[in-house]
Amino acid sequence: MRLAELSQASTTDLIRRLVNNISGLVDREIVLAKEEAKQDMRSSLTSAVLMISGAVLLFIGVISLVVAGILALALVLPGWLAAVIVGVFFLVVGAFIALIGKSKLATKPLEKTRESLREDVLWARGRLNR
């Protein structure tokens, strides 16, 4: 619509055009968001498959090193005792690491976000009560 046409249009027509333009813009943004979400999901899925594959190979490597450690220790101790010593070592280290992880676990998840939302609600209520 040209400037001359806009200046002669009624307020109702202008508002209708504005609403239609906003509606079209929102629709295009939703389509864009859906497409972007699909691309992100594909990328995330590929990354997850690669990370899981790498983790499995790392796990196999760690197990191989543990077996090698048991076999090396079995040169000076009975095999069963070497396996028990290495097993206990990993249990102690694993428990220690798990306890550290538990102590760092968030007790109040999203604390800053909840506080921000609470402040926004209080601000909005204050604006509405005026």
The gap between the terminal CA atoms of the chain, to the nearest Å, is: 39
Closest residue by Cα to residue 21 from 37, 6, 4? 6
Distance CA(29)–CA(32), nearest Å, equals 5
Residues 6+ apart with CB under 8 A from 121: none
In a 13 Å sphere around the CA of 50, the CA atoms on its Cβ side amount to 6
Strands (E), the chain: none
Name the DSSP class of 2: -
The pLDDT, as a whole number, for residue 78 is 96
Closest residue by Cα to residue 93 from 124, 123, 62? 62
Low-confidence ranges of the chain (pLDDT < 50): none
The pLDDT, as a whole number, for residue 86 is 94
Closest residue by Cα to residue 59 from 67, 95, 100? 67
Distance CA(67)–CA(61), nearest Å, equals 10
The pLDDT, as a whole number, for residue 130 is 67
